[in-house]
Amino acid sequence: MAQDANQKSIESSSIVIIGLGMVGLSFIEKILEYDTSKKYAITAICQESLVAYNRVGLTQYFSHRNVDQQLMKPEKWYQENNVLLLMHQTATKINPALKVIESVSTQDINTSTAAVTTTPYDICIIATGSNALLPSPKVVPGLDLPGVYVYRTIDDLNLIIERSKTAKHAAVVGGGLLGLEAAKATSDLGLKTTIYERNSQVLSRQLDKEGAAMVLREIEKLGIGHSLGNPPVAFMSDSTNGESLHVSKAKLQDGSVVEHDIVVFAIGILPGDKIARESGIECHARGGVLVNDFLETNIRDVYAVGEVACHRSQTYGLVAPGYNMAEVVARNLTRDIHSKGLGKVHQPRLFTSADLSTKLKLLGIHVASFGDYFASSGNTQELLYRDPFGAVYKKYVFTKDGKHLLGGMMVGDTTDYGKLLGMSKSKKSLQIPPSQLILGLKPGQGQGVTDLPDDTQICSCNNVTKGQIRASIRSKGCSSIGEVKTCTKAGLGCGGCLPQVGDIFETELKAMGKVIKQNLCSHFEYSRTELYQVVKVKKLKTFSQVMEHAGKSNRALGCEVCKPAVASIVASLFNDHVLNHAPLQDTNDRFLANIQRGGTYSVVPRVPGGEITPDKLIANVAKEFGLYTKITGGQRIDLFGAKREDLPSIWERLIKAGLESGHAYGKALRTVKSCVGSTWCRYGLQDSVGFAIVIESRYKGLRAPHKIKGGVSGCVRECAEARGKDFGIIATEKGYNLFVCGNGGAQPKHAVLLVADVSEANCIKYLDRFLMFYIATADKLTRTSKWLEKLEGGIEYLKKVILEDYLGICNELEEQMAYLIATYQCEWKVVVEDPKRRQQFRQFVNTDDTQEGIEFVSERGQRRPADWPKEELQLPPSPISPNQDPFDAQDLRKWICVGEVDDFAMDTGRTVKHGHVQIAVFHLPDGSWYATQNMCPHKRAMVLSQGLLGDSVSESGVSKSQPYVSCPLHKKNFGLQDGKCLTPGDENNYKIQTFEVKVDEDGQVLLLLPPTKDLDDILATDKVIIHAQEAQDNFKWQTSIELVQPSSSCATGACGGKELEW
């Protein structure tokens, strides 16, 4: 790590970087890349004890609490690249006469006896960044009280986390980007949070007042308070005997006093230019080291980059301009190296201005601004779009004639950010009316990647151009998006540029004549669409048949990606009961219900059109089985907290009441929402309820690549929100307008018009064709909106296929739909009438005993599972060590019979109970047996036996991993042989206990188990499940486990890291 500064070779020119933040590291990376002759020796002086870490994603630290995960590069990377690190050293002065930098140990910085280290330099780069801005204690008394923090470093975050264990009310001072991030952090820590902003709006540097107001309304929905124009002016504490305690109150500008026992300041930053001022380097009066277009200071061979640099009287608080500065200096310092042998000298690079475009997700709200988004003059014209129901706001700024897009801001829907940013940068005339940009770009519209020049910046975070991305593919042989990201750093910042990176990647591969593979997973060399056709033509009705005819190896298990995909294809073509293929089904489909926290399930009967009669009311069922009851957004009733073993009995009662499966658990038609239409509404033009019932009854049970939602509105007032659905039908005076390919959710999309003023009969005919064409051609887990975006020719091509029979397949599509409708069966009705199928829902194979998988609490008169602790989940005492077997005494183990072979279906898992411990037993297709603890250590849920079994194979079809089980909650994979976690990034975080299994000559299944007491001491269910007290007291134990954010993607398939949404 840290080395003696005098060890460097005297033959090299020395570059010393003061500061090792994100920009400092970026400069080091650029120098290492461009300095091909190894002219420079690099030293970095770092004030903190940690090497460069991700400050842009600082809030993520609250989720994983893992310092190594936050680092941009591990410490060994610096050693491998011969970068000398002087850690926990604060540079105090630059001596340009002697060309040395003086520094002292950070912990001794305020002592008079601190030992001074001198580091010689040839080139000095000041990259000290900035410090958190705080008002003067004279202006705001109480800032020095315990419990008042800033939001800047990992050390700050650790202090906030520690204080949150006893605090209740958080004040976040500052309503900018950093303030909203801090508010999310304190809210996630379980603190009642209020945001204070001295201005009249939040995000004043990114949004106008109207956009900010919409963000504020969404923040309010999260239970976070706010106070605009009325900031705190003093902080106070309760005191005992004159001893100052933690902050407890805040006095606001209007004189009122409010309770706050933790305060987080995020009001801005102040350039860290102290060393420059101490060294006689010119600085701006408001802060920042003055630099020219070459980023040079007034002292020869001393440069400044990042937040500390003041260029043309402006400092930048974003990382992207800092990366651009680092690029300019690194290029100029290596200019002579790249000019050798060329007979000419490369022109020096200049830093002239910075792109302040940003695309972020704050508190779950998508916000973006691009180009000159605050442009206002007599030569500009604004175009606005407001959707208060969908929480979408867009304002785009054009030239007066509407020919050029200058910039814009977006709230709620930022889907087109990448394309619009490219259009504003290109300065080219628009080829479409400005109004089409507001409504959303269609495939092929906007500034496509083929139109952009090579010097166009694609990734503003890391200053990566289109040309660099193309070169990584053509010259460096990058053959995947992941390799392009690693090679160029594009997409490693906020990720907003990844759609454009993907477009460039595909365009380049096509131009090079290479085939772009969209393989389903490592087991198949076919995409989902291709596999659909293979299964259809060859009439393959089982997974083994599909693997034999289309897979790389007929001996492979499959995985959590291909098994559900094949199950969906088979269901869409042949409509067998899904439990005929139980080993392929993920947990929701395997048990015909949605798995919830703690391993319980939800029950959602179908209620077509939202119309329900008194004899279908299900209060008695909910009361009998202790279920939490809620009305869904799709006009249905959701019953939560059902035990797996109770599901058949619950559905038996519901079916007798005339209800049937709502398929809320499957990638299938969910619901068709409706308004009351002409039956009751004075504005209604058609009977929307009646038509919605017809539509939902027709397509119920229809399986697809992803879930399907529909809506029918009785007039253009759109009370059913039909245009936010995969298909939407809106009544007109002449009939109905049919819209397709919309969706709500995190990336909302308005559906587009397929056909206008059609009769009910024609509407159904076109819907039949549309749905079957989507099912046949969409990739796995692709909603209709994304499918249309990728469909060559877009909506116009789709109209030709569906309305004009352009491909000559409409009769076939209609016949296929007719077959699926004719063969529909209520999946639950089949189960409740079949005693053998009902047996599959028993909790334990070897006993009728039952156990709760999580403690339940009472809230608002209903029963719900206890909260997961806000801080990292932890295991009780005596956890299973990742490095040794806790049951060392092998001679005390005994073979215990847990059932017969016929009790354990092949290619799945079942649960047995021994003492108070749950054990998962797996029977693989090759006849092998495995057993593990049933508890997934990630969320301490008793669910592993319900997970999919899988493996991964090489290009030649040879197995390259041990068999594993994929946890049904968050898709963390565990090896069945050694219990190790196989999910990338979590290999050292989790491990499960495994047990030996054998089958005797009588067909009895036996497990080799330690004494019951020893097993109970470590894995007893009532000991390891989540208890309500944990969330209240934040119990501290020995082994920490990562808490994954709900918004993050925690599903990592073993077959290439595919995102799973099953």
pLDDT in tens, 350-400: 999 888 888 887 887 889 999 999 887 778 999 999 988 888 999 999 999
With beta carbons less than 8 A apart as the criterion, state whether 204 and 212 touch.
yes
- Domain ranges for the chain, please list them: 5-131+271-339, 148-267, 360-447, 669-822, 864-1041
- Kindly report, residue by residue over 203-247, the tens digit of the pLDDT: 999 999 999 999 999 999 889 999 999 999 999 998 655 555 899
Q: What is the pLDDT of residue 451?
A: 65
Answer with the residue of higher pLDDT: 1033 or 581. 581
pLDDT score at 952: 80
CB atoms within 10 A of CB 566: 29
Mean pLDDT (whole number) for 319-344 = 79
- Say whether pLDDT at 726 is over 90: yes
Query: Is residue 615's pLDDT more than 80?
Result: no
Whether pLDDT at 880 is above 60: no
* pLDDT tens-digit series, residues 639-672: 999 999 999 999 999 998 888 999 989 999 999 9
- The whole-angstrom separation of Cα 295 and Cα 302 is 9
669-822: CATH class: alpha beta
Q: Tell me what percent of the residues of the chain surpass a pLDDT of 70.
A: 89
pLDDT band of residue 1026 (cuts 50, 70, 90) is confident
pLDDT at 416: 83
Give SS3 for 94.
strand
pLDDT surpassing 50 at residue 342: no
Q: Which CATH superfamily is domain 360-447 in?
A: FAD/NAD-linked reductase, C-terminal dimerisation domain (3.30.390.30)
User: What is the arithmetic mean of pLDDT over 449-475?
Assistant: 79
Q: Compute CA distances 146 → 190, 248, 366, 955, whole Å.
A: 20, 10, 34, 59
- For residue 856, the model assigns a pLDDT of 82
Q: Domain 864-1041: state its class.
A: mainly beta
What does the pLDDT read at residue 339? 52
In tens, the pLDDT along 996-1014 reads: 999 999 999 999 999 999 8
Q: What average pLDDT does the structure give for the chain?
A: 86
CA angle 971, 977, 983 (to 5 degrees): 30
Residue 838 DSSP SS3:
helix
Looking at residue 1045, its pLDDT comes to: 32
Give per-residue pLDDT as tens, 728-771. 999 999 999 999 999 877 667 889 999 999 999 999 999 999 99
Q: What is the mean pLDDT of the segment spanning 490-507? A: 76
**Topology (CATH) of 5-131+271-339:** FAD/NAD(P)-binding domain (3.50.50)
- Measure the CA–CA gap between 999 and 917, rounded to whole angstroms: 21
* CATH topology agreement for domains 669-822 and 864-1041: no
Nearest Cα to Cα of residue 308 among 275, 356, 346: 275
3-state secondary structure of 196: strand
Which tops the pLDDT comparison, 488 or 453? Answer: 488
Tell me the mean pLDDT in the region 465-491.
84
Domain spanning 148-267: CATH 3.40.50.1820: no
Distance in angstroms (rounded) separating the CA atoms of residues 263 and 143: 9
Question: How much is the pLDDT for 340?
Answer: 52
Give the pLDDT of residue 531. Answer: 94
Q: Is the pLDDT of residue 446 over 80?
A: no
Which secondary-structure segment (H or E) carries 280? none
- In tens, the pLDDT along 920-947 reads 999 999 999 999 999 998 888 999 999 9
Residue 617 has pLDDT above 80, yes or no: no
Which residue in 482, 280, 332 sits closest to 473, CA to CA? Answer: 482
Mean pLDDT value of segment 403-427:
87
- For the cut 90, the answer to whether the pLDDT of residue 137 exceeds it is no
